[in-house]
Structure 1
Amino acid sequence: MKTIVAAPFTLLVALGLALFSAAGPVRAEEGVVRVGIITDMSGQYADGNGTGSVVAAQMAAEEIGGTVAGRRIEIISADHQNKSDVAVAIVRNWIDNKGVDVIAEGVNSAVALAIQNLTRERKKLFLISGSGSSDLTGKQCSPTSVHWTYDTYASSNATAKAVVARGGTPWFFLTADYAFGQALERDASKAVVAAGGKVLGAVRHPFDTADFSSFLLQAQSSGAKVLGLANAGGDFRNAVAQADEFNIRQSMQVVALQVTITDVPALGLAHAHDLLFTDSFYWDRTPETRAFGEEFFKRHGAMPSAYQAGVNSALRHYFKAVAATNSVDAETVIAQMRKMPVNDFFAQGGVVREDGRMVHDMYLMRIKKPEESKSKWDLYEYLSTVAGNDAFRPLSEGGCPYVKTP
């Protein structure tokens, strides 16, 4: 394992499956809080998550001096390669042999659901930032997980309502065929219908698709006026760029149900302009978000995505709970996390619910036209705030078996 010394604490960064080279079991150390960042470092989500999430975790530890409750903070990380079996094997090794106290990030919903099954079984804390499926706090919830940054319900809810209110209906969905895309389509469809709109159909594409021509032609021939993109990362970028090649916008409004800030420069404002979407964080929204974004940029060379900001915020809250309880026991710490409001650059008045959902405000955004942007990362226009209780699914509707019923 490669060891990097980063004052004022030790940052252990182990990429890929190199973590399995340990000679034998390692017991948890009394004087250490060990954080495991499990993420995509080599695939289509690497730019918006990846090493930037490790940087965000490092910043959270450094902000409190690299120690909490008399324990030194160590951070290890690994690339799950967008494969559930790889992710579970890594996390199991971390828990059994590395003494990891808390798992964080977990981009890719299929991966996160698999990790959550393991952390639920092992009673370990899982702070989810990069994954979006609302099932993580629904029927597949866990008493030791917190879904921090966003979910498919919140991302689709405000956007769908805003588009339908402006006359945007009927809809057709272009959906990534895995847990995240399926949940995004499902939650967006419900929001469209609830707002008085119609859904004519959907077509699903494989993860990491290069050629969207057949899918876009199906959408174009559907008769719908709105094309909802229920995908992310490279799939989102390819779909938008190829939609322009097929002149889709001449007959349909293209709506992005999930946007990562690092996707926009890669795609280009010439393609991305005027897309409406809902997000939990934008670096240039407030003085506090700008301060975090600028410090992150100094270290990483890019502005933080919502997922990377969420990693930092979630770990800040976790460290506060460890300090308050003088414990790293998952059940003790998560109980304290639920007691304390989340007040930082990411959220004000945030609440960790019984189902694991961290409820906070969301923001309706528009991607700027090329002539409106003053710099590479000047990308979004803030339109409105959606209160957390309006953005996220009501507690009573999720079906989480750990929620106490009246």
Structure 2
Amino acid sequence: MNPITRRGALGAATAIATTPLAGRAQTRDNVIRIGVLADMSGPYRDTSGPTSVAAVQQAVEDLGMAQRGVTVEVLSGDHQNRPDAALALARRWIDTQGVDMICEVNNSAIALALANLVREKDKIQLASGAASSALTGPQCSTHTVQWTYDTWMFANVVGGATVRSGGDSWFFITADYAFGHQLERDTSQFVTRSGGRVMGSARYPFPGTTDFSSFLLQAQASRAKVVGLAMAAADMQNCVKQAHEFGLTRRGQQLAGMIMFVQDIRSIGLEAAQGMVMSEVFYHDLNDRTRALASRILRRTPENMPNQEHAGTYSCAIHYLKGVMEVGVPRAKASGIEVLNVMKRMPTEDDAFGPGRIREDGRKIHPAYLFEVKSPRESRGMWDFYKLRATVPAEQAFRPLNEGGCPLIRT
């Protein structure tokens, strides 16, 4: 298997073939191509990036596609967190390079735009990294599945629990793009539904903000009990560190990390992050299957532990390739919707999430978990960050089918 070169991974406008697993004996039309559209050079590189590519490669290997006589190529590209650049690359992948399925897409604005392109081209988008719940709501699509998590789920698990434990007044610091807006809206609904109040919000420019002092001062002035951080990755890390320096928690305000990854905890440090509560759908040390999967992927990217986003990318690639084998490679290349319909009929099963299914609105469901960050004394070493507080069953973790407003659902 060819390694991912740094130069190739950072190629903003170039899609690179990082496999093939079975040589070039088959014709071009008989090669299944998966495009991993990710942040390869920006603030989400560690939570997305090369480890997502490694996760897809691992899925191809685990299914033994070469031994089954199916050639699979994995391409990667940097979307630069820009919808225009992402769409140009995706269109070139489909029109000139024969890409059949695009996954990861860890930017909600890009995923929403890409949904129209794959529908037009009869290809598939498995949005394993995009979080906006609009993807399975008013903007749901026949050719897109939202795979790993969404803003409604994070708001459900974190927002509601915090209000019930006494954090009944909130102020939001929000990334000013689709993902942040949706996360703030969803969490606000859970706060108010549970009897809490939203005292206000501050939206910071994304990307490019490194100094959160003015936004933290607004949060402090609001006197809200909880400061909800509707952001992720490097922004989350910087904001939490600066909040610690400001002494927000010492003054009685609680930080709510609405979407966090193990990479965030590693960067922030257990001393500052201990006691934080967050929701995730995957943790590498959750059970024997997750430990085995993390170990296999970690061999490819030894400096970066697979997180829930990487696990979702692995999971969606596994199920897609099962669908391809069910319909056959020629038909899979001819019709994306035929593969996707088969995928929706088949139950999902993999080492990342165990059993699950894809709903009619394009929402893939599986359990979600509430974790608490360990103290430095409790941690056994590198990447040992979480202790499990609660498990939310799949049917309760995600928004009910009849509440999303997806036009594909018959009322």
TM bracket, shorter-chain basis:
over 0.9
Report Cα offsets for 1:335-373 as digits up to 9, x if no partner.
111111112222233110111100111000111111211
* Distance in 1 (alpha carbons) for counterparts of 2:347 and 2:321: 14
Pairwise mapping of residues 99-178 of structure 1 onto structure 2 (< 5 A)? 99-178=98-177
Which residue of the partner structure matches residue 276 of structure 1? Answer: 277
Instruction: Give 1:68 deviation, angstroms.
Output: 8.3
Which residue of the partner structure matches residue 25 of structure 1? Answer: none
Which residue of the partner structure matches residue 325 of structure 1? Answer: 327
Provide closer, same or farther for how the CA distance between residues 223 and 53 of structure 1 changes in structure 2, counting only shifts above 3 A: same
CA contact (8 A) 1:69 1:322 kept: no
**2:52 maps to 1:53:** yes
CA contact (8 A) 1:30 1:71 kept: no
Report Cα offsets for 1:14-43 as digits up to 9, x if no partner.
9321349xxxxxxx9332111010000000
Instruction: Give 1:111 deviation, angstroms.
Output: 1.6
Segments of structure 2 that go 5 or more residues without pairing to the other structure are 17-26
Q: Amino acid of the residue matched to residue 402 of structure 1?
A: L
Q: C-alpha root-mean-square deviation of aligned residues, in Å? A: 1.7
Q: Amino acid of the residue matched to residue 406 of structure 2?
A: C
* Distance in 1 (alpha carbons) for counterparts of 2:79 and 2:71: 26
CA contact (8 A) 2:226 2:254 kept: yes
Pairwise mapping of residues 180-259 of structure 1 onto structure 2 (< 5 A)? 180-207=179-206, 208-249=208-249, 250-259=251-260
**2:41 maps to 1:79:** no
* SS of structure 2 residue aligned to 1:190: helix
CA contact (8 A) 1:279 1:365 kept: yes
* Distance in 2 (alpha carbons) for counterparts of 1:376 and 1:246: 27
CA contact (8 A) 1:68 1:322 kept: no
Instruction: Give 1:13 deviation, angstroms.
Output: 7.1
* Distance in 2 (alpha carbons) for counterparts of 1:14 and 1:125: 24
Percent identity over paired residues = 44
Which residue of the partner structure matches residue 289 of structure 2? Answer: 288
Q: Amino acid of the residue matched to residue 344 of structure 2?
A: R
Runs of 4+ in 1 over 3 A off after TM superposition: 12-15, 66-70
* SS of structure 2 residue aligned to 1:229: strand
Using the TM superposition, name which of 266-275 and 71-80 deviates more. 266-275
**2:364 maps to 1:358:** yes
Instruction: Give 1:110 deviation, angstroms.
Output: 1.4
CA contact (8 A) 2:10 2:40 kept: no
CA contact (8 A) 1:14 1:76 kept: no
* Distance in 1 (alpha carbons) for counterparts of 2:410 and 2:51: 37
TM-score of the superposed pair, with normalisation by structure 1: 0.93
Q: Amino acid of the residue matched to residue 51 of structure 1?
A: P
Which residue of the partner structure matches residue 382 of structure 1? Answer: 388
Instruction: Give 1:182 deviation, angstroms.
Output: 0.4
Segments of structure 1 that go 5 or more residues without pairing to the other structure are 7-11, 21-27
* SS of structure 1 residue aligned to 2:391: strand
* SS of structure 2 residue aligned to 1:150: coil
Using the TM superposition, name which of 199-208 and 342-351 deviates more. 342-351
CA contact (8 A) 2:107 2:129 kept: yes
Using the TM superposition, name which of 266-275 and 254-263 deviates more. 266-275
